[in-house]
Copies of this chain bind each other. A is one copy, B any other.
Amino acid sequence: MRARELARAMPTVAVDTDAMQAAQLMAAERLPGLIVCREDGRPYTILPGSQVLRFLIPTYIQDDPRLARAFDEKASDEMVGKLARRTVHDLLPKPQDVDELPVVDGDATTVEVAAVMARMHSPLVAVVAGERVLGAITVGRLLSHLLSATSPQR
């Protein structure tokens, strides 16, 4: 089994997509992350949902989440307002924080997909063929394949 056979379609956004639109897409589809493409459509990276939160939540509260208790609903609305007039590019981790990406080639074996997820602690990898995004594989789907291959049914 190759990565291209396990991949499922997943919405993609571009680096210049409106940040609020991207967050709303993730929220509406209950996705743990989105595939981000370059302006020319080539796959670029994954935007994890937790990264959107890292952009929204003030650093001092990330450092000590108990301080969030001083935030009322109005302050919380203002925080989400930080997404206005921003793009996906603004949400992504700074390049120096990212040395590699959870992206595999369509020909990758399931063990290779598992190795990339394990190495990067990622619940999701994007599957690409050259300059085209084929879809994504979640950790649940990959485990399901790895385990069913060893069950007596097969």
Contacts and interface: CB of A to CB of B under 8 A. Distances in A.
A77 B148 CA distance: 10
B30 A138 contact: yes
A112 B144 contact: no
Given A65-B115, A111-B57, A28 B144 contact: yes
Given A32-B140, A147-B27, A149-B76, A115 B68 contact: yes
A17 interface: no
* Category for how many chain A residues contact B: 35 or more
A132 interface: no
Contacts of A53: 114-115, 117-118, 139, 142-143
Contact of A57 (B31, B51, B69, B115): B115
Contacts of A148: 27
Contact of A140 (B49, B108, B115, B141): B49
A27 B151 CA distance: 13
Interface of A: 20, 23-24, 26-33, 48-54, 56-57, 61-63, 65-66, 68-69, 71, 73, 75-77, 79-81, 104, 108-112, 114-123, 138-144, 146-150
15 contacts: A24-B147, A26-B140, A27-B143, A27-B144, A27-B147, A30-B140, A48-B139, A53-B114, A53-B117, A57-B111, A65-B119, A68-B109, A71-B111, A76-B149, A77-B150
